[in-house]
Structure 1
């Protein structure tokens, strides 16, 4: 017999938790839910709490994407939603854990979309796709689109992280070298240089290092305050919108960010239109799941369509969208192939953004190596030159 720790919600909404002894996890689930409780989490009392920690981190993009694509494939194969979730529950992967949690909530009367939205993180976005599918656009089709959307976003974030990893490491090494020279090397050489009258630049660094050493606690507290304030500000919607506007104005970076967001949202628009959803409704949905910049563009197009403007003209007159999206939307509507045109435009934008990220990663690493290495080398040459000058000075 194994002891399990559980958390559940009773029929009247009260939260319950405790320990229960059962031969297996399935038996423990059955015992907890036999009284009508909705099981929230269940784990072995003596086991590591890695899954509890993962739950607190919410559902990530990869888990939500894998779950959506697996579920869409099972639904398309003819399985019911309950049967599909039972198949996905097998195993110990994050996707299986998510399926188990959703099954329990669906058994207690929740819809798939509401159950997903309660999972937090990327599951909230996936819940929006599920809600559109439950509204008649086709659950399997929308889950597949949602899975591809989340997978594309995960791929873009992973490539950006990989592109920045090496440059960040080089910058960290360079900064550590400069800090070490300023806080340790320069102050140690200062007494000798003062007696010899040499090394004005090194003495200047030494003064900075001594000043920082005396105020180390204040510097640490100020840095912690700035980081916490920045974290809180980034959680504010108005700050995020303003930051995105600033990023979109940076040459190169802004166009890449716009291509990533637009490419993903065009794929969603195409899937919704293929499923028979009206264009105006599809634009509202795409705006809801997109970043503020793209959302403003789609909301503007939606308003123009409501006012009687043709869709082709509305797309063409929106300057914040990439040229490919505007022109292909115009051609697509004239040829009665708007979904295919938007899909093609999305693929063009996404591919172009990935190429730019790869080129950036290939260029920025060598530039930083040369720049940071050169700065540290010049500083060390200055120090060595000063020390050599002391040796040549007559006593």
Structure 2
């Protein structure tokens, strides 16, 4: 990603300057416009600010969202106490346990010390401080209530992290059960079945069909396990490449899945509604807020439809008009947003929508987990039961012959 130095107008009289990261000059201009700025000059920088090393740039990948949320909360408390921003950044950098975040904060502090705006200094690290964060901070800087914006960003980050954490936690136990089941089946096919196979061969008796199938399967795995592993790796790689090149279709398919699709849609609507609520509450125009909030979505199909809503707004229409054409937004959400637009309380309505969907997402995750766990146990039990029956049938037959 390239770095661009810019000068832009913020309001009728104020001119701001700074550096931001973008894929191209046009993308940089779009990003500035999305932040509510009027670009005057945008030029690509040949080096990072202060000769930022490649290693420091890679640090952005090692900063956790929870660490950033904590940073914003601590930052808000110190700024509210009247501590200068340079001193605040020094304090937070020194006490940060995350070395990557510490390096970034030290560099941001240096930029602020040189006279760059705080928001544009953070914008150099788009993988850590999102466009949503930057827009909120700029709104706080312009209104003189930076600490309020910082608290809201911290709350938003923590809520999003909590929702993601619930989903990850819900998947841990099913993943453990599945892993144990796979290891057990592999052990049975790779070690136990070959032992019984030799025993049955020595007996020289006819074996039931399922036993012969299991023995052939075990022998095939033993003979070609390397090719199976290579084939699996190649298959996973090809599937991953295909999904990357067809992200929108894949994300559309995910939304259409009966249970998983509902959870994904609810979590996306909750995240988007919360981001839009906070941006509007910070007096950012609806069109700019929509553009800034789009990156918080992970689903490309949903993102495409919301981009179409942006075009409706550009033509003077209502957000609810664009959402009404969407395949994914439920009618009651569209109606609720329409009420907010007509009453002038859109930010409050979006907050209510976010609250409702956050609660519903948590509830559905819990229900899905309660269904997945017994289903996996039953599936693994059936597979192991099949293996045990296939092994014991010849033994029972032999006992019958002896009797």
Check whether TM > 0.5. Answer: yes
Residue of structure 1 in register with 2:233 after alignment: 224
Shift of 1:39: 7.7
Q: Tell me which of 267, 274, 292 is aligned to 1:267.
A: 274
- Say if 1:167 and 1:364, in contact at 8 Å, map to a contact too: yes
Report the Cα distance in structure 2 between the residues aligned to 1:374 and 1:382, rounded to whole angstroms. 12
Q: Tell me which of 241, 254, 260 is aligned to 1:247.
A: 254
Question: How many residue pairs were aligned?
Answer: 346
The SS at the match of 2:197 is helix
- Say if 1:167 and 1:368, in contact at 8 Å, map to a contact too: yes
Residues 147 and 130 of structure 1: CA distance in aligned 2, closer, same or farther (over 3 Å) = same
Shift of 1:84: 2.3
Once superposed, what is the RMSD of the aligned Cα atoms? 3.0
After superposition, residues 326-345 of structure 1 pair within 5 angstroms as 326-345=334-353
Q: Does 1:369 align with 2:373?
A: no
Residue of structure 2 in register with 1:304 after alignment: 312
Q: Does 1:360 align with 2:368?
A: yes
Residue of structure 2 in register with 1:206 after alignment: 215
Shift of 1:229: 4.1
- Say if 2:214 and 2:390, in contact at 8 Å, map to a contact too: no
The SS at the match of 2:326 is coil
> Deviation digits for residues 363-382 of structure 1, max 9, x if unmatched?
22122223312331242133
- Say if 1:325 and 1:342, in contact at 8 Å, map to a contact too: no
> Deviation digits for residues 203-237 of structure 1, max 9, x if unmatched?
21111221222222222222333344455556x3x
- Say if 1:156 and 1:354, in contact at 8 Å, map to a contact too: yes
> Deviation digits for residues 31-57 of structure 1, max 9, x if unmatched?
xxxxxx94858xxxxxxxxx99x9374
Shift of 1:151: 2.1
Shift of 1:98: 4.6
Q: Does 1:70 align with 2:74?
A: yes
- Say if 1:163 and 1:358, in contact at 8 Å, map to a contact too: yes
Shift of 1:252: 1.8
After superposition, residues 1-395 of structure 1 pair within 5 angstroms as 38=50, 55=59, 57-94=61-98, 98-107=104-113, 111-119=117-125, 121=127, 123-125=128-130, 127-134=131-138, 136=142, 139-194=146-201, 195-232=204-241, 236=244, 238-291=245-298, 292-394=300-402
Report the Cα distance in structure 1 between the residues aligned to 2:117 and 2:87, rounded to whole angstroms. 15
Residues 276 and 90 of structure 1: CA distance in aligned 2, closer, same or farther (over 3 Å) = same
Shift of 1:342: 0.7
Shift of 1:114: 4.8
Residues 317 and 232 of structure 1: CA distance in aligned 2, closer, same or farther (over 3 Å) = closer
Residues 175 and 344 of structure 1: CA distance in aligned 2, closer, same or farther (over 3 Å) = same
Report the Cα distance in structure 2 between the residues aligned to 1:345 and 1:375, rounded to whole angstroms. 44
Instruction: Give unmatched runs, 5+ long, in structure 1.
Output: 1-36, 42-50
- Say if 2:174 and 2:372, in contact at 8 Å, map to a contact too: yes
Report the Cα distance in structure 1 between the residues aligned to 2:61 and 2:315, rounded to whole angstroms. 44
- Say if 1:328 and 1:341, in contact at 8 Å, map to a contact too: yes
Residues 71 and 233 of structure 1: CA distance in aligned 2, closer, same or farther (over 3 Å) = farther
- Say if 1:164 and 1:361, in contact at 8 Å, map to a contact too: yes
- Say if 1:287 and 1:296, in contact at 8 Å, map to a contact too: no
Bigger RCO of structures 1 and 2 (CA < 8 A, at least 6 apart): 2
> Deviation digits for residues 91-116 of structure 1, max 9, x if unmatched?
24226555334323444565544544
Report the Cα distance in structure 1 between the residues aligned to 2:331 and 2:75, rounded to whole angstroms. 35
The SS at the match of 1:196 is coil
Shift of 1:120: 6.1
